[in-house]
Amino acid sequence: MKKIKGLRWWIVGLLFTAAVLNYIDRQTLSALAPTIQKDLGMDDGDYANIVNIFLIAYTIAYIISGRIVDKIGTRSGTLLFVIWWSVSNMLTAAARGMTSLGTYRFMLGLGEAGVWPAASKAVSEWFPPKQRAFAIGLYTMGATIGATVAPYIVIPLATYGYSEHLPAIANWLGQGTGWRLAFILTGLVGLVWIIPWLILYRTPQKSKLITKEELAFIEDDENNEKKNAPVAASWSWKQVLTYKGTWLLLLARLLTDPVWYFFQFWFPKYLASERHLSQNELKITWIIYAAAGVGSLVGGWYSGRLIKQGKLPVQSRMYVMLACACVMPLAPMISKVANIDISMAISAAVVLVSLAWLINISSIIVDIVPSHSLGTVFSIVAAGSTIGGIIMNMIVAAMVAGVSTKTPGFLDRGFHAILAPILDFVQGKGYSMWFLIIAFLHPIGWLLLKFGGITKLQTSK
C-alpha cells in the first residue's frame, strides 16, 4: 500500500473540513431565520428559545461526548458525531412548528459538540507538543470559515425559484421548499465526508498509510513524552472532577468564550441597530470571521514557536494569552468611536486575540491531561464554554431589549430565576455596557489560571 507523506496534515485537513461543515450546519438556521420564522409562525422570542435549546443540548453533549471518545476511540467517536449531526440537520427540513424545530435543533446540538473533544484527541495522537496549537488553530479556523460562507451557500439555495424551475422538488417539500432543501443538502455533505475519514484515520501506530519517518517523528522521546509513558487506566469521573486543571480551565472558558459567542450571535444585530447598517451592508461581518481565522492560526503558530525556542508548553500558551488579554481593554472603543471603519478595525482586533486565546487555552488541555482521559476532561471544560454562552445570551438580551411585554416561556422563566439580580441590573443599558464587560473577561481569566497554578500542572502526566 502506498504511503502518504505528511499524513498528519491530511488528518488535520479532514478535521478542518469537519469544522467547516459543523458551522455551516449550525449557521443555516441563523442565515435563514426570517424566512423560517415566517413559514413556521415563530416570533423572536420563539427563535431565542430555539437557540438556547441548541446550546443546552450542546452543553449536555460536551459533558458526555469526550467520555464516549475516550471509550470507543477517536475514529469511531468522530464518525458517530458527524453522522448524528448530519442526519439531524437533514431532519430539520421536516420541521412544521416550534416543537419539531426545537427537537431537531436539540438533536443537532447533541451531535455537533462531540467533534471538538474528538478533534483535540486526534491532535494529541498525531502531533507533538510544538505543533499541537497550530494544528488546533488550523481546524478551528474551519469553524470561522464555515460561519463566513454559510450565508453565501444557504441563502441562494433558499431563494431559488423551485416552483418555476424544479416543480417536482417544490411539490415534494411543499411550503418553504428552499430552506428545507438547504438543510437537506448541507447535511448530506457531512455524510459524504465520512468516506475519506474511514479511509485515512487510524492511530499512527496502526496506520498502514504513514511513512516510517513520520511515525518516528511523532513517537520521538523529546517531542512526544506521552507515547512512551507507562500505560495507565482512564481517569474515573471522580478523578476528572477533582482534578484542579479541569476547574481552572472550565472557569476560564466560562469567562472568556462568551466574547466569541457574542460576535457570532449578536454583533450583526449591533451593527444593524446601533450603526444602522442595512441587511446587504451586514456582509461586512466577513471581516470579523476572517480576523477569527487569522487569530486561530497566529495564536497556535506563535506558542509553537516559543516551544521550539525551549519554553515549556503551558508557559508558552500563557505568554501568548497574556498578550491577548492586554488587547481586550480596547473593546469599549467599539461603541464609542463614531467612524464605522475604526470600530470594525477594533472589533477585528478583539476577535483576533479572542481566537488566539481560545486556541491556546484548548492546547493547555492537551498539554496537561493524559491522552487516555483527554476527551473526558476536554468535554467537561468545554461545557463551561456553552454555559458561558447561554449566560451571555440572556445578559445581552436584557441589555438591548429592555423589559419584555411578552409572556415569558419556560426557558425565560428558568434562566431569570437563576440570573435575576444580574439581569435586573443590566436591563436596558445597551451594548456599550457589554463592550465594557468584555474588556475585563480575559484579564480576569488569565489571572485565574496564573494564580490558580496552571503552569505547575504541566508535568502531572
- Dump pLDDT digits (tens) for 378-411: 878 888 888 898 888 888 878 886 555 555 555 6
Mean pLDDT of 179-190: 92
Instruction: Assess if residue 224 is contained within a domain.
Output: no
CB atoms within 10 A of CB 229: 12
Contact (CB, 8 A) for 37 and 43: yes
Question: How far is it, in rounded angstroms, from Cα 251 to Cα 247?
Answer: 6
3-state secondary structure of 4: strand
Would you call 272 exposed, middle or buried from its count of C-beta atoms within 10 A (0-12, 13-18, 19+)? Answer: middle
Clarify whether residues 205 and 248 are in a common domain: no
Clarify whether residues 203 and 97 are in a common domain: yes
Closest CA to 381 of 256, 224, 225: 256
Clarify whether residues 421 and 336 are in a common domain: yes
Clarify whether residues 343 and 437 are in a common domain: yes
DSSP state of 151: H
The residue to which cell 481586550 is assigned: 328
Clarify whether residues 82 and 157 are in a common domain: yes
Instruction: Assess if residue 151 is contained within a domain.
Output: yes
**Domain of residue 402, CATH code:** 1.20.1250.20
Question: How far is it, in rounded angstroms, from Cα 97 to Cα 187?
Answer: 20
The answer to whether residue 222 scores a pLDDT higher than 80 is no
Q: Which domain holds residue 431?
A: 240-461
Angle at 33 between CA 27 and CA 36, to 5 degrees: 120
Question: How far is it, in rounded angstroms, from Cα 438 to Cα 450?
Answer: 19
Clarify whether residues 169 and 315 are in a common domain: no
Clarify whether residues 197 and 261 are in a common domain: no
Euclidean distance between the first and the last CA atom of the chain, given in angstroms as a whole number: 36
Q: Residue 73: which region, alpha, beta or left (left: phi > 0; alpha: psi -120 to 50)?
A: left
Q: State the sign of the Cα–Cα–Cα–Cα dihedral 209, 211, 216, 217.
A: negative
Closest CA to 320 of 367, 276, 275: 367
DSSP state of 338: S
Cell of 184: 437537506
Clarify whether residues 178 and 272 are in a common domain: no
Question: How far is it, in rounded angstroms, from Cα 66 to Cα 131?
Answer: 22
Q: Of 154-158, 186-190, 210-214, 331-335, which range is least confident?
A: 154-158
Q: How many domains does the chain have?
A: 2
Instruction: Assess if residue 126 is contained within a domain.
Output: no
Contact (CB, 8 A) for 87 and 213: no
Q: What percent of the chain has pLDDT over 70?
A: 92
Instruction: Assess if residue 226 is contained within a domain.
Output: no
In 87-97, which positions are buried (b, 16+ CB within 10 angstroms) versus exposed (e)? bbbbbbbebee
Clarify whether residues 255 and 174 are in a common domain: no
Question: How many alpha carbons fall within 13 Å on the CB side of residue 320?
Answer: 34
Instruction: Assess if residue 301 is contained within a domain.
Output: yes
Question: How far is it, in rounded angstroms, from Cα 341 to Cα 142?
Answer: 26
Question: How far is it, in rounded angstroms, from Cα 83 to Cα 189?
Answer: 10
| Per-residue pLDDT tens over the stretch 248-267 | 999 999 999 999 989 887 88
Contact (CB, 8 A) for 176 and 36: yes
CB atoms within 10 A of CB 337: 14
Q: State the sign of the Cα–Cα–Cα–Cα dihedral 324, 326, 329, 330.
A: negative
Contact (CB, 8 A) for 258 and 389: yes
Contact (CB, 8 A) for 299 and 359: yes
Cell of 135: 494544528
Clarify whether residues 214 and 266 are in a common domain: no
Cell of 199: 479511509
Phi, psi of 210 (to 5 degrees): -80, 145
pLDDT, position 228: 47
pLDDT, position 279: 56
Clarify whether residues 85 and 160 are in a common domain: yes
| Per-residue pLDDT tens over the stretch 284-332 | 888 888 898 899 888 888 988 898 888 888 999 999 999 999 999 999 9
Clarify whether residues 185 and 256 are in a common domain: no
Last residue of a domain, one of 185, 218, 251: 218
pTM of the model: 0.75
Closest CA to 331 of 264, 446, 450, 431: 431
Instruction: Assess if residue 122 is contained within a domain.
Output: no
Q: How far is CA 21 from CA 95, 115, 142, 191, 239, in A?
A: 21, 11, 8, 10, 34
Residues 6+ apart with CB under 8 A from 88: 104, 107, 108, 110, 111, 187
Instruction: Assess if residue 123 is contained within a domain.
Output: no
The answer to whether residue 460 scores a pLDDT higher than 50 is no
Contact (CB, 8 A) for 194 and 82: yes
Contact (CB, 8 A) for 111 and 85: yes
| Per-residue pLDDT tens over the stretch 20-78 | 999 898 888 877 777 888 888 887 667 777 888 888 898 888 888 888 888 899 999 99
How long a stretch of residues is the chain? 461
Instruction: Assess if residue 125 is contained within a domain.
Output: no
| Per-residue pLDDT tens over the stretch 135-144 | 887 888 888 8
